[in-house]
Amino acid sequence: MSFYPICAEYSGAPLTEIFAAATESDVRRALGKTLLGPEDFLALMSPAALPLLEEIARKASRLTEQNFGRTIQLFTPLYLSNYCTNHCVYCGFNAKNKIPRTQLTLKQLEEEAKAIASTGLKHLLILTGESRIKASPDYLDSCMGVLRKYFPSVSIEIYAMEQDEYARLVDAGVDGLTIYQETYDEELYAELHPRGPKRDFRYRLDAPERGCKAGMRVVNIGALLGLGDWHKDALITALHAAYLQDRYPEVDISVSLPRMRPHVGEFQPTSIVEDRDMVQVMLALRLFLPRLGITVSTRENAEFRENILPLGVTKMSAGVSTAVGGHSQDGDQVGQFDISDERGVEEMCEVLRKHGYQPVFKDWESITEPAKGAA
Amino acid sequence: MVVVLNGKKMDMTEGVTLLELLESKGLSPETVVVERNKEIVPADSFTDVVLNDGDHLEVLRFVGGG
Amino acid sequence: MSKDLFEIGGLKLDSRLFTGTGKYADDSVIPGICEASGSQVITVALRRVDMESTTGNVMDFIPKNMQLLPNTSGARTADEAVRIARLARAMGCGDWIKIEVISDNKYLLPDGYETARATEILVKEGFIVLPYVNADLYVARSLVDAGAAAVMPLGAPIGTNRGLQTREMLRILIDEITIPVIVDAGIGKPSEACEAMEMGADACLVNTAIATASDPVMMARAFGRAVKAGREAYLAGPGATQCHAAASSPLTDFLSGD
C-alpha cells in the first residue's frame, strides 16, 4: 500500500479552477458537517472561505478544545549532526554549503541532554543531516542509550529509513517519527533535490507509512510551505494525514506547518505564505481532521504563535537552537535555519499560562518496560 | 429398526429410503434439507439413501425470520 | 446522473431496503410486502420441520426474483452458525448467509467474537457473509479482515422498534468501514430508516416494523420510499446547519493588520 496514487491524482488537480468555483454555500456546508471529505477541505481552503474565517475559527477552536483541551505540548529539537550528502537547495545543511560540519560525541550529547532536561522538557526531537555513514543507525542507537535517561519521549527527524530500521529505533526507545515530504509536487521535488539519496521521491513519501508499521506512536508529516504551490502542498499534506489516520488508527498522526525561513544558501521562498494563509490552512486542517496533532515551530514569531493558540495548534517547540550542540556548546554554530521566537522554556510556559493554556511536558507513560535500561 | 427423526424415535421397516420417509410425512423433498448423523445429505441423493437402524435424522426447512 | 445501484455479493440491486419474513400474522401478505417495498433481498430462518403441524411453507410466498438471505438465528456459537449456514446452502438457494450468533436471550444482542469466527470460516467456504453485529468498530474491522460482504450493525436491540439508539457508533462505522454498512434491527419507523440512509448507511434491513404494522403492505411501501429518500438526500449532500456561536472576542482580528 502506498499514498503515491492519491498524491499523484491530486498533484494534477486544477486547483485554480476548483477554488474559483467554490461558493460560500460550499463553505457553509463544510462548516455544518461533522465528517468532512476532501471536497470540504478544498472549500475551506478556497477564497470563498475568507469572509467566513472568523466563523471557521470558532468551530476550529471548539474542536481543538474538545479533542485536546486547553493544552500545548512543548518539545525542543536537538541537532546531533549536520553532515549531509543531500543538495536540498533550500536547506542550510546542503552538502554544498561551506559550513563547519560536526557531530556530537556521546559525551557532548550527554551535556546537551542535561542542559535541555534542566529546563523541564520531556519531549525531545533529535535531528541529523542525511549521512548514513556519520549518523548511522548504530550511532543513533547509542545516542538513545544516553537520551532515554533524560527523556521519556524521543522523536527522530532524520533521513528516510527502512521499516526494520525504524523498528530497531523504536526498540531503542524512539516513539515518534517526523519526516517532511517538503513538497508533494514530484517535478519540483526533483528540481529541489538535485543530488543525494533524498532524491527518491517515493521512498520518502512512503517513509511515514513505514514508521507507522514499525510501531511509532506518533508520526508527524508536513510540507515546507513556500517551496512550491503551498495550496497544493497543504491539500496533499491533509490527504496524506487522512490516509495514515485511516490505515493506522493506533498511531497519532500530526502535521507541521513550517513556512520557509531565510537561511544560508541561495534558494529563497518562491511563494509567500501570509499569516492569513497560514491560519486558513490550520483551520481547514482542524475541521477536516479534528483529532490531528498540529505542530508550530519557532520559525514563527512570538506574537503570531500566541495569536494562533486557540485555532488548532497542539504542539510547539520552545528553547530552540537549530545548530549542532546549540544547547550546551560555546561558539557560533551555524543553524539549519533562523528561528523567530527565541524565548526559553520557562518564558514560553508563562506565556501559555497567561493565555489560559497548560504547558504539557509529558502526556503519556508506556506501561510496558522499554527494551533497554530505561530512565 | 429404529431411527431418530427430529428428536423422536420411529419404528420403521428395513430398506426404506430417505425419500420414501419424507414422502410418508407429506414433505416434498425440494423444500427440506436433511442432516443424517450430522452429515448433510445432498438433495439429489435422497432416493439413494437407504436408512439404517439407529440413524439420526434432522429435517429442516426455511421458515419466517428476520 | 448514472443509476445508483447497490453492489453486494456480486449483485447490483436497485433497492437498498432488505426485508424479512418473520412475525407476519399471515404469510400470504409477503408477496404484497415485496412488491410494495421494492425490496429485492429477503431473510428467512432455518428450523426443524414439525412433523405434526401442517402450516404452509413460507417459501411458497416468496417471489422467485427475490435474493434469499437465510439467517443463522438459533445459533449460540460460531460452530452452530457454521452448521446452520451449511444446511441453508444445501437448500439450493444460493450462497448468501446472515450470521446471527446470540446466546443472551434477555437482550438478544449478538456475540461479536463468535460472529467473527463464523465469518472467517464461512468466507473460506465461499459464502457471501453478512454478519449481524453490535455497532462496534473493532468487531466491524475484524469482519472486514475476515472477508465479510457487508456488516449489519444494529440500531437498537432486535425487535424493539426503538430507532437509531446507536447513532454515534453507526456514524463511526459508516465513516471507517470500507464494505457496505447495512443497519439491521431496531428500526421502528420509516423516518429512522431514512435517517440511517441520510447518514450514509448503504442499506437497511427492516422486518418487525413492517410485519407488525396494522397495514403491513402500506408500511412496506412507506419504508421503501423512506430508504430511497434518505439515500437521495445523502447523495445530494445536505445543506449546512447554521452554528450560532456567541461572538465574544474575535479569534482572527489579529489578521486584519496585514
Q: Report the distance separating Cα A10 and Cα A233, nearest Å.
A: 10
Residue C61 falls inside a structural domain: yes
Smallest Cβ distance to A279: which of C175, C242, C255?
A: C255
Chain B touched by C40 (CB under 8 Å): no
Q: Do residues C190 and C161 make contact, with C-beta atoms less than 8 angstroms apart? A: no
Cβ B63–C47 below 8 Å, yes or no?
Answer: yes
Quickly list H helices, chain C. Answer: 30-37, 78-90, 112-124, 137-146, 167-176, 190-198, 208-211, 216-236
Inform me whether the pLDDT recorded for C180 exceeds 90: yes
Q: Do residues C22 and B26 make contact, with C-beta atoms less than 8 angstroms apart? A: no
CATH number at residue C169: 3.20.20.70
Question: Shortest Cα distance from C231 to chain B (angstroms)?
Answer: 22
Per-residue pLDDT, averaged over C182-187, amounts to 93
Smallest Cβ distance to A29: which of C239, C250, C258?
A: C239
More confident residue, C242 or A58: A58
- The domains of chain B are located at 2-60
Q: Do residues B11 and B2 make contact, with C-beta atoms less than 8 angstroms apart? A: yes
Backbone conformation region of residue A116, classed left if phi is above 0, alpha if psi is from -120 to 50, else beta: alpha
Q: Do residues C227 and C203 make contact, with C-beta atoms less than 8 angstroms apart? A: yes
Residue C257 falls inside a structural domain: no
Cβ B66–C23 below 8 Å, yes or no?
Answer: yes
Chains near C (3 or more Cβ pairs under 8 Å): A, B
Q: Report the distance separating Cα A336 and Cα A344, nearest Å.
A: 19
Question: Shortest Cα distance from C212 to chain A (angstroms)?
Answer: 35
Cβ C73–B65 below 8 Å, yes or no?
Answer: yes
10 Å CB burial of residue C28 (0-12, 13-18, 19+) is exposed
Residue A375 falls inside a structural domain: no
Note down the domain range covering C66.
6-48+57-237
Q: Report the distance separating Cα C45 and Cα A351, nearest Å.
A: 67
Smallest Cβ distance to A58: which of C175, C237, C251?
A: C251
CATH number at residue A162: 3.20.20.70
Cβ C205–B8 below 8 Å, yes or no?
Answer: no
Chain C neighbors of A32, CB-CB under 8 A: 238-243
Chain C neighbors of A30, CB-CB under 8 A: 240
Cβ C251–A29 below 8 Å, yes or no?
Answer: no
Q: Report the distance separating Cα C47 and Cα B63, nearest Å.
A: 7
CA–chain centroid gap for C86, Å, is 21
Cβ C240–A54 below 8 Å, yes or no?
Answer: no
- When divided into structural domains, chain A yields a total of 1
- When divided into structural domains, chain C yields a total of 1
Chain B touched by C252 (CB under 8 Å): no
Q: Do residues B57 and B35 make contact, with C-beta atoms less than 8 angstroms apart? A: yes
Chain C neighbors of A33, CB-CB under 8 A: 240
Taking one residue from A and the other from C, the number of pairs with CB-CB distance under 8 angstroms is 53
Residue A365 falls inside a structural domain: no
Q: Report the distance separating Cα B45 and Cα B63, nearest Å.
A: 23
Chain A neighbors of C242, CB-CB under 8 A: 28, 32
Q: Report the distance separating Cα C192 and Cα C177, nearest Å.
A: 21
Q: Please, which pLDDT band fits residue C240 given cuts at 50, 70 and 90?
A: low
More confident residue, B37 or C52: B37
Give SS3 for A215.
Answer: coil
Chain C neighbors of B66, CB-CB under 8 A: 20-23, 43, 45, 71, 73, 158-159, 185, 205, 207-208, 211
Q: Report the distance separating Cα A77 and Cα A156, nearest Å.
A: 9
Chain C neighbors of A31, CB-CB under 8 A: 240, 243
Query: Which pLDDT tens digit goes with each residue over C79-123?
Result: 999 999 999 999 988 999 999 999 888 888 999 999 999 999 999
Report DSSP state, residue C181.
B
Per-residue pLDDT, averaged over B40-58, amounts to 92
Q: Which of C33, C49, C91, C97 to mutate to test the interface with B (most CBs of B within 10 A)?
A: C49
CA–chain centroid gap for A336, Å, is 15
Residue A175 falls inside a structural domain: yes
Question: Shortest Cα distance from C218 to chain A (angstroms)?
Answer: 34
CA–chain centroid gap for A40, Å, is 24
Q: Report the distance separating Cα A221 and Cα A76, nearest Å.
A: 17
Note down the domain range covering A110.
4-360
User: According to the model, what pLDDT value does residue A265 have?
Assistant: 61
* Residues of C that are catalytic: 98
Question: Shortest Cα distance from B27 to chain C (angstroms)?
Answer: 9
Q: Please, which pLDDT band fits residue C239 given cuts at 50, 70 and 90?
A: low
β-bridge partners, C206: C19
Q: Do residues C209 and C163 make contact, with C-beta atoms less than 8 angstroms apart? A: no
Whether the full predicted model's pTM is greater than 0.90, yes or no, is no
Which stretches of chain A drop beneath a pLDDT of 50? Answer: 372-375
User: According to the model, what pLDDT value does residue A261 have?
Assistant: 66
Backbone dihedral angles phi then psi of residue C17, each to the nearest 5 degrees: -110, 120
Cβ A276–C258 below 8 Å, yes or no?
Answer: yes
User: According to the model, what pLDDT value does residue C56 have?
Assistant: 79
Chain C touched by B12 (CB under 8 Å): no
- C54 to each of A226, B22, B28, C49, C91, how far by Cα in Å? 80, 14, 13, 10, 20
Q: Report the distance separating Cα A58 and Cα C220, nearest Å.
A: 44
Chain C touched by A246 (CB under 8 Å): yes
Per-residue pLDDT, averaged over C212-219, amounts to 94
Chain B neighbors of C158, CB-CB under 8 A: 66
Cβ C47–B61 below 8 Å, yes or no?
Answer: yes
Torsion angle of C-alpha atoms B63, B65, C4, C8, degrees rounded to 10: -80
10 Å CB burial of residue A213 (0-12, 13-18, 19+) is middle
Chain C touched by A57 (CB under 8 Å): yes
Inform me whether the pLDDT recorded for C244 exceeds 70: no
User: According to the model, what pLDDT value does residue A375 have?
Assistant: 41
Per-residue pLDDT, averaged over C178-187, amounts to 94
Residue A342 falls inside a structural domain: yes
Chain B touched by C72 (CB under 8 Å): no
Q: Please, which pLDDT band fits residue C248 given cuts at 50, 70 and 90?
A: low
CATH top-level class of B2-60? alpha beta
Pairing verdict, β C152-153 and C128-133: parallel
Chain C neighbors of A57, CB-CB under 8 A: 251-252
Give the helix/strand (H/E) hosting A275.
helix A275-288
Residue C169 falls inside a structural domain: yes
